[in-house]
Structure 1
Amino acid sequence: MAAAKDDAVVLDVGGHGVRVSHPGKVVFPDAGLTKLDLVNYYVAVADGALRGAGGRPMVLKRFVKGIGQEPFFQKRVPENHPDFIDTATLRYASGTSAEEAVVRDAAGLAWVVNLGCLDLNPHPVRAEDLDHPDELRVDLDPMPGVDWSQIVDVAMIARDVLDDHGLVGWPKTSGSRGMHLLVRIRPEWDYREVRLAAETLAREVERRAPGLATARWWKEERGESVFVDFNQNAKDRTVASAYSVRPLPDARVSTPLDWAEVRTRRPEEFTVATVLERFAELGDPHAGIDDAAGGLEGLLRLAEELGPAEKAPRGSNASGGTGRRESRMPLIEVARTETKPEALDALERWKSAHADVVAHLSPADVMLDGMRGSSSLWYRVRINLQHVPEGERPEQEPLLVDYDPWAGRTG
C-alpha cells in the first residue's frame, strides 16, 4: 500500500494499482467499518463475489453521501475508468443505451467500492452475449408480518419445482429480509422467455403453497405471504449479487448458503465481519454453480399447460377510460417523498391522525415502496383499507408530501 495525493492510498491488487480516496472515511458507524475496510473485504471474498458479478455488465449504485442518504444509480461507466475495467453497451426497451462497467477481477471490485458502491448489481447476462441471460433469478420477497420460517418453507417448495423441471437453485440471503435462489441456465433463451419461465415458476409455487406464497404482481393483493418476484428477470432489472454488502447499520451481507443451512441460519448472522471469517474457513458454498447450468424447456412447457397468467385490468371500463389499472382493493395514498425518512415521517403523521383506522390494519396493509426513478429511488406510502369496516374508511386526502420525481424533466 502506497501513499497518494491528499489522504488517498494506492493498493496493489493482483498487479493493478487501485487508488482508494479517503480510506479512513467511516461508512458504517455502528459496525466501525471504513471505506478501506470495505475494499479489503471485497478483495478477500473476490473469488465468491466474482462468481456472482464477474464478467457481467453492472449498474453502479453509489452511496457517495453514506448509508444514511439515498444512493444514485449510474448506468454509464465513468469515462476515466482504468484499463482493467471492461465495458459492454446495453440497449434498453426505451430505446436508450448505456456503456456499463464489467468487472473481471479483484482490482475491479476494489475500484467500484472506491466509487461508493456497497452492493454489486450485475445484469443476468455475460458481456459476451447481452441478449441471452445465463441466470434466472428467484427473489423471495416477504410481505410485512411474514417471518423467516415462512420464507424458508417457500424456498423449499421453489427448490422442488426447479428440481422437477431439471434446474438447480442456489440459495443466498438477500441481505435484507428475503432470500434469493440463483438458477444458472444455458444462454439459449431471450429475456422474454426467461421472464416467462420465472413467472411460471412463481405461479407453480403459489399453486403448491396457497396462502404461503403468491405470484400476484399487485402488492395490495398479496396479503401476508411471500411474493415470488418473477419480474426481477426483466431486461432492465438487477439484484444485489452474492457477497454484496447491503446499506444496513450492521453491514449485512447477501450470503450464499448450502441448502442444509437454510432452515437454521438467519440473515442477521451474516455481516462483513462474520462473512470474512466464514469465507476463510468454508470457502464459497456456490463454488459449483457454473457447472449446474440447465434448460428452460420444462418450465416453458408448464407455461403452455397453465395458459396465460391473469393480467391486471387495463383500458375500457376497468380503468375508467384512462388506460391505467384500477385496483380492486380500497387503497388510499398518503405521500410521495424523495427520501425514506420523509416517507416514514408522513406515515407516522397519518397514523396519528387516524388512530381508529390503524387499529384495523394488518402489517401487510401498510405499503411503503421504493420506486426506481431515472437515477435514484423515491418513495410512495399507501394504505389498504380492506380490513377497515366500509363505513369507517377515510376518503383520499391531499398527500402529506407530494414529491414529483419527474419535475424538471422533459420528454
Structure 2
Amino acid sequence: MPITEIEGRRITLSHLDRVLWPGTGTTKGELLHYYASVADTLLPYVRGRAASFVRTPDGVEGQRFFQKRPPAGTPDWVTVAETVRHNGELMDQVQVNDLATLMWAANLGCVEIHIHQWPAGAPERADRLVLDLDPGEGRTVIDCCRVALLLRDRLAEDGIEAWAKTSGAKGMHLLAAVKGATPKSTSAYARHIAQELQTGHRDLVVATMAKADRTGRVFIDWSQNAARKTTAAPYTVRAQRVPGVSAPLSWAEVAAAGDPRELALTIKDVPGRIADQGDPLAALLDPGRAARLPD
C-alpha cells in the first residue's frame, strides 16, 4: 500500500483502484483526487466545525453508515474536539481542518461530509441559516430553482443575503450568514418564511413534514437549522448513484436552468468550474455579509 506525506503527515493509502460507484466506474483514487483538487475551496466551510461522515467503504451500493464519533485508529494529529451537543451531551468529533485530515477521511471511505450550522463547541450560536429544498414526486431540481428565487427575494426583504448550491442529490440548499442568532431562532425564522411561501404558492411549495403532502410540490425543510441537525457541506461528494457534488451555483445559473442535467455536477465537473469561475458561495464566509434576523 502506498504511503504519502501530506502537510508533514504520513498517510497510508489503500485500495485506490476500488470502484466506489459501479454505475460510473469511479474509484476511490478518483475520490481522493477530487478532494485534493478542491481542498482549498472546501476547507473554509468545514474548518472549526464538528464533522459527521457518510462512509461507504465498499462502494455506494454496499454497506453505508453515518459516523459522528472519530473512527477507530484516528491518528493523534487529527483534530478531535469534545463537542457540547444541543442536549448537553459531550461527544468527541473530528474537525476537518486541513488537507491531511480530508485525505485521511476520504481514504477511509468517508464519501460525504456533513456539518452543523454552528461552530464546534458552540451549539447555541448559529452563524448560518439553511433552507433545504426537496422536490416531491412530479417535481425536479428546476422547480427547486423557482422556489430558491422566491426565497432569495423574500429573505432580501429582511436584509438577509442568500446563496444557493445543489444538494448533490435531487434538491438544493440555500445558505445565509447570520449573527446574534441561535438554532432556535433560525429554525423559527426559517419555519415562518417557509410557511409564508406555502401560503402564497400552494401549488408549488409545502412546508409541512408529512411526505404525503409533498407530491407535486417542493418541500422547504426549515428544520435543518436545529442544533442536532447537519447538512451536506459545500463541495462534499454524495453517496448517490453517480458521484455528484453539493456544488455552489451563481444566481444566474439558478435563474437560467431549464434541465435537471444542467445542475447534475459531479467530481469531474467541479474542479474545472472552480478554476474557471471561482467559488459562487465565497461571500458566505465574509463576516461583513452576516445579517441579524428580524425581531
The one-character-per-residue Cα deviations of 1:278-315 (angstroms, maximum 9, x if unpaired) are 222222111222115433432xx3xxxxxxxxxxxxxx
Which has the higher Rg, Structure 1 or Structure 2? 1
From 176, 192, 202, give the equivalent of 1:183.
176
From 215, 230, 238, give the equivalent of 2:230.
238
Cα gap change, 1:9/1:277 in structure 2, threshold over 3 Å: closer, same or farther?
same
The one-character-per-residue Cα deviations of 1:353-405 (angstroms, maximum 9, x if unpaired) are xxxxxxxxxxxxxxxxxxxxxxxxxxxxxxxxxxxxxxxxxxxxxxxxxxxxx
Q: Does 1:39 align with 2:32?
A: yes
Q: Give the aligned partner of residue 66 of structure 1.
A: 59
What is the TM-score of this pair, normalised by structure 2?
Answer: 0.91
Structure 2 counterparts to residues 238-387 of structure 1, below 5 A: 238-265=230-257, 266=260, 269-291=264-286, 293-298=289-294, 301=295
Q: Give the aligned partner of residue 229 of structure 1.
A: 221
Secondary structure in 1 matching 2:62: coil
Query: Structure 1 residue 168: deviation in Å?
Result: 1.2
Query: Structure 1 residue 16: deviation in Å?
Result: 2.6
Alpha-carbon distance between aligned partners in 2 of 1:13 and 1:184, rounded to the nearest angstrom? 32
Q: Give the aligned partner of residue 118 of structure 1.
A: 111
Secondary structure in 2 matching 1:162: helix
- Partners of 2:21 and 2:242 within 8 A in 1: yes
Query: Structure 1 residue 251: deviation in Å?
Result: 1.1
Q: Give the aligned partner of residue 21 of structure 1.
A: 14
Q: Does 1:143 align with 2:136?
A: yes
- Partners of 2:283 and 2:289 within 8 A in 1: no
Alpha-carbon distance between aligned partners in 1 of 2:93 and 2:224, rounded to the nearest angstrom? 19
Query: Structure 1 residue 228: deviation in Å?
Result: 0.6
Q: Give the aligned partner of residue 213 of structure 1.
A: 205
Alpha-carbon distance between aligned partners in 2 of 1:85 and 1:205, rounded to the nearest angstrom? 43
Q: Does 1:165 align with 2:161?
A: no
The one-character-per-residue Cα deviations of 1:211-270 (angstroms, maximum 9, x if unpaired) are 211111222233411111011111221111111111223211111011111133445541
| Identical positions, percent | 34
Q: Give the aligned partner of residue 194 of structure 2.
A: 202
Query: Structure 1 residue 157: deviation in Å?
Result: 0.5
Query: Structure 1 residue 85: deviation in Å?
Result: 2.1
Letter in 1 for 2:66: F
Letter in 2 for 1:297: L
Alpha-carbon distance between aligned partners in 2 of 1:10 and 1:37, rounded to the nearest angstrom? 17
- Partners of 2:164 and 2:250 within 8 A in 1: yes
Query: Structure 1 residue 276: deviation in Å?
Result: 2.2
Give the alignment's Cα RMSD to 1 decimal. 2.0
Structure 1 window deviating more from structure 2 (229-238 vs 45-54): it is 45-54
Which has the bigger relative contact order, CA under 8 A and spacing at least 6?
2
Cα gap change, 1:117/1:43 in structure 2, threshold over 3 Å: closer, same or farther?
same
- Partners of 2:168 and 2:264 within 8 A in 1: no
The one-character-per-residue Cα deviations of 1:312-344 (angstroms, maximum 9, x if unpaired) are xxxxxxxxxxxxxxxxxxxxxxxxxxxxxxxxx
What is the TM-score of this pair, normalised by structure 1?
Answer: 0.66
- Partners of 1:23 and 1:36 within 8 A in 2: yes
* Structure 1, gaps ≥5 residues long: 1-7, 302-411
Cα gap change, 1:56/1:130 in structure 2, threshold over 3 Å: closer, same or farther?
same
* Structure 2, gaps ≥5 residues long: none
Alpha-carbon distance between aligned partners in 1 of 2:194 and 2:14, rounded to the nearest angstrom? 44
Query: Structure 1 residue 13: deviation in Å?
Result: 2.5
Query: Structure 1 residue 124: deviation in Å?
Result: 1.4
Alpha-carbon distance between aligned partners in 1 of 2:45 and 2:69, rounded to the nearest angstrom? 20
| Number of aligned residues | 291
Secondary structure in 2 matching 1:41: helix
Q: Give the aligned partner of residue 145 of structure 2.
A: 152
- Partners of 1:84 and 1:107 within 8 A in 2: no
